[in-house]
Amino acid sequence: MLAALLAVTALLGVLWSREARWSRADYCLETPGQVWGLAPVPAGATATCPASQTVRGEVRRGVTRVEQYELSGWQPAPVLDALTAGGYAVLSRIPDDGIQEAAVLNGHGEQLTYVADRLDGNTLVTITARGEH
């Protein structure tokens, strides 16, 4: 009886922790502390997730995957460098014009879109890919 109660309690704990992810501000990060689950987050980069409820729903349903990183000043390269160090290859690239840099990457069986935008003198990097569905 005690074993069954402990098993049910453990199962409920696992289910609660999975559901709790969707209410957290970092809901979109599959592996906190790593860029796209492959490489450490570069020094000075802060991981964020879009606040949009629509995006949150798409990530939860597996339709899309997204990660965002904020960096002080104009620094479009560190997160892109982390992705290439993690095994992604740049297929095409729109070079840094001081306002935006974009790239399409391929690796690990998926294609990513990488966009670094200048916002208020800082950098917001967004990485997206189609989900599992």
Query: Does 92 map to a domain?
Result: yes
Query: Does 65 map to a domain?
Result: yes
Tens-place pLDDT, residues 82-131: 999 999 999 999 988 989 999 999 999 999 999 999 999 999 999 999 87
Q: What pLDDT was estimated at residue 20?
A: 67
Where in the sequence is the domain holding 110, given as residue range(s)?
Answer: 26-130
Tens-place pLDDT, residues 34-89: 999 999 999 999 999 999 999 999 998 999 999 999 999 999 999 999 999 999 99
Q: Which amino acid is at 69?
A: Y
Report which of 91, 128, 126 is spatially closest to residue 106, judged by C-alpha positions. Answer: 91
Query: Does 60 map to a domain?
Result: yes
**Domains identified in the chain, total number:** 1
Query: Does 7 map to a domain?
Result: no
Counting other chains too, the contacts that 112-121 makes at CB distance below 8 Å and 24 or more residues apart are: 112/36, 112/83, 112/88, 114/79, 114/80, 114/83, 116/75, 116/76, 116/79, 116/80, 118/74, 121/73, 121/74
Helical H runs in 1-133?
A: 2-20, 53-61, 77-85
CATH of the domain at 87: 3.30.310
Query: Does 121 map to a domain?
Result: yes
Query: Does 18 map to a domain?
Result: no
24 pLDDT band, cuts 50/70/90, is confident
Q: What is the DSSP letter of 36?
A: T
Query: Does 104 map to a domain?
Result: yes
**What's the predicted TM-score (pTM) here?**
0.82
Query: Does 9 map to a domain?
Result: no
Q: What pLDDT was estimated at residue 21?
A: 65
